[in-house]
Chain A
Amino acid sequence: MTSIGTGYDLSVSTYSPDGRVFQVEYAQKAVDNSGTAIGLRVKDGVVLAVEKIKHSRLLVPGSNKRIMTAGRHIGVAAAGWMSDTRHLVKRARDEAHHYHSVYKADIPAKIIAERMGMYVQAYTLYSSVRPFGVSTILACVDTDGPQLYMVEPSGQFTGYRGCAAGKGKQAAKTEIEKLKLEELTVRDAVKEAARIIYAAHDEAKDKLFELELSWICAESGMLHAHVPADVLAEAIQHAERSLDEDDDDDDEMEDEDL
């Protein structure tokens, strides 16, 4: 349900009579218009996956990445405006670097999430700036193990076992809720993440897309990295096969009806 915020929605420093800041809600719309991004926190690591919608066949495959690294043990996947994402990742890198120079240790997940949340929230306080049109999913492994946080345009940040943002977030969330995340390994999670992205992708609306997949696990030396080419290929195969199986199931059911 959307109510028009006429008159109260021109500036982020204005509340509406029912206590909403419409400019922040509009920034959220920018996130909802973008390709889906998901994060899965499992037994032995974290996986990030993004549905990179391509507007042209001329784009170089493997370029224009939407998953970035901010500190060797922190991965950031984003749904929303890429230029805003780069701004936030730059800030995250500065925060991680500064923490390290003061404490001589890697910045813990909940602290980087809080710093990012506070930074994003600061842009929702003044009329001279606009809120970020990005939801960032932070994957981090620290001394407490693998962790996952999502920071929204309002500055709210929450820890998750599994989260999704972007166009297909409803479909993705439904699929994620069916998984037993505490029992999966990273290898399983990579395949599931690919399957969920493919399932959430709307073939009719956006024909061209590329899957981007990254992880933090023992295999990557507990550092954030895009998955190796063979793992990516295997995940895509698994995803495509599941899509075909769903189609076959539909066909079978039609036959039974006859």
Chain B
Amino acid sequence: MFRNQYDNDASTWSPQGCIFQVDYASEAVKQGTAVVGLKSKSHVVLAAVKRSPNELASYMKKIIRIDDHMGIAVAGLTSDARVLSNYLRTEAMRSKMVYGRALPVGRAVNAIGDKAQINTQEYGRRPYGVGLLVIGHDDTGPHLYEFSPSGVVSEYYGYSIGARSQSARTNLERHFEQFADMSLKELIVQGLRALRDTMPQGKQLDSMNTSIGFVGADAKMTILDGDDTQPYLDLLDEGDAAMDTE
């Protein structure tokens, strides 16, 4: 009813027990193009749709490498994503320098979760307007986390955020029980399949607008763009053709 009275800053609760500024920040995440993440017993994969402001411009970066064992995909305000990824990179480096070991993924995401929570509690600050899917591999295996502007961090077998991501989530929910035993190649194709469900009518995934990232027990954090994504997109088409002929 009196929505506009309670939505001016992050230090005001609404009568229903929500903080509207945090909810609005989550809307910014929904404006970003979709990203998908999923994990098997040994690897974690990210797949993202890139947008380009116009034909002459390059496509924006959706997947960012944090360290050899960790990477993130972003949806929302890219500049906020830069701030968080710089912070993560510094923490990852510090872990190596101080403790001589790679930063455990769970700790990394909790650190940015705590950072984001402060922005939801003090006057004069705004919540981060970006959602992240954080992937990493450490001593406890492969991990996929979602970070949201509220500071809440959750661990998933597979997830998707960004525009029209519900379709991807539905696809992932239908198949997630098979992810554990998939090979890296199958996992990437499965991710692309879920990602494709977020594309609007008439648009396709192609080597220009697709970005793939993965990390695993035997694979350092790797990002594929452009022509490097073509083999996987081809496998995606082959899979469809096979299904059609059955």
Given A57-B176, A58-B172, A83-B117, 14 more pairs with CB closer than 8 A: A22-B15, A23-B12, A26-B16, A59-B157, A64-B154, A84-B117, A86-B114, A86-B151, A87-B117, A90-B114, A129-B121, A129-B123, A130-B11, A130-B12
Instruction: Tell yes or no: A56 within 8 A of B by CB.
Output: yes
Residue of A with least CB distance to B150: A83
Q: Tell me whether B209 is interfacial, beta carbon within 8 Å.
A: no
- Answer whether A56 and B123 are a contact pair too, CB < 8 Å, given A10-B5, A26-B14: no
Q: Is the CB of B155 within 8 A of A64?
A: yes
Tell me the smallest distance from the CB of B60 to a CB of chain A, in Å. 26
Q: Is the CB of B18 within 8 A of A127?
A: no
Binding site for A on B (CB under 8 A): 2, 5-6, 10-19, 110, 113-114, 116-118, 120-124, 150-159, 169, 172-173, 176
| A63 touches B (CB below 8 Å) | yes
Query: Which chain A residues (117-142) contact chain B, with CB distance < 8 Å?
Result: 123, 127-133
- Can you identify 6 A-B contacts, CB atoms within 8 angstroms? A22-B15, A26-B15, A29-B16, A83-B150, A84-B117, A129-B122
Taking a contact as CB atoms under 8 Å apart, the answer to whether B172 and A23 are in contact is no
> Contacts of A127 on B, CB cut-off 8 Å?
11, 123
Contact B17 A86 (CB under 8 A): no
A82 part of interface (Cβ distance < 8 Å): yes
Q: Name A59-82 residues within 8 Å CB distance of B.
A: 59-60, 63-64, 81-82
Given A58-B172, A130-B121: A26 and B155 interface contact (C-beta under 8 Å): no
Complex Cα distance, B118 from A90, in Å, reads 12
Choose among B17, B153, B157, B158 the residue that contacts A27 (Cβ–Cβ < 8 A). Answer: B17
Residue A30 interfacial (CB < 8 Å): yes
* Interface-lining segment among A1-9, A37-45, A195-203, A218-226: A1-9
CA distance A27 to B117 in the complex (A): 15
10 closest pairs, A vs B, by CB? A29-B17, A83-B151, A26-B13, A30-B17, A63-B155, A128-B123, A83-B117, A130-B11, A60-B155, A58-B156
Do A86 and B113 touch (CB < 8 A)? yes
Shortest Cβ distance from B7 into chain A, in angstroms?
Answer: 11
Known: A32-B17, A83-B116. A129 touches B11 (CB 8 A): yes
Chain A count of residues within 8 A CB distance of the other chain: 40
- A-chain residues with CB within 8 Å of residue B176 when the two chains form the complex: 57-58
Q: How far, in angstroms, from A76 to B113 measured CA to CA in the complex?
A: 18
Across-interface contacts of A23 in B (CB, < 8 A): 12-13
Interface of A is mostly: loop
A11 at the interface (CB under 8 A from B): yes
Q: How far is the CA of A14 from the CA of B151 in the complex (A)?
A: 27
- Are B17 and A58 neighbours in the complex by a CB distance under 8 Å? no
* Chain A 185-227 interface 0/1 with B at a Cβ cutoff of 8 Å (1 = within): 0000000000000000000000000000000000000000000
Question: CA separation between A10 and B2, bound complex, in Å?
Answer: 11
A5 to B14, CA, bound (A): 11
Residue from B114, B116, B153, B156 within 8 A of A60 (CB atoms): B156
Q: How long is the Cα–Cα vector from A27 to B172 in the complex, in angstroms?
A: 35
Q: Measured between alpha carbons, how far is A4 from B153 in the docked complex, in Å? A: 33
A173 and B113 alpha carbons, distance in the complex (Å): 32
Instruction: Collect the chain A residues with CB atoms within 8 Å of residue B113's CB.
Output: 83, 86
A33 within 8 A of B: yes
Assuming A60-B157, A130-B121, A131-B13, is B18 touching A30 (CB within 8 A)? yes
Q: How far is the CA of A9 from the CA of B12 in the complex (A)?
A: 9
Given contacts A58-B172, A59-B154, contact A10 B12 (CB under 8 A): yes
Min distance, Cβ B39 to any Cβ of chain A, angstroms: 9
| Bound-complex Cα distance A83 to B10 (A) | 14
Bound-complex Cα distance A127 to B9 (A): 11
Q: How far is the CA of A90 from the CA of B121 in the complex (A)?
A: 15
The one of A6, A30, A64 that contacts B13, using a Cβ cutoff of 8 Å: A30
Q: A57's contact among B11, B152, B173, by CB below 8 Å, is which? A: B173
Cα-based distance from A127 to B152 in the complex (angstroms)? 24
Asked whether A128 and B13 contact (CB < 8 A) given A56-B156, A60-B155, A63-B155, the answer is no
List the B side residues contacting A86 at CB < 8 Å.
110, 113-114, 117, 151
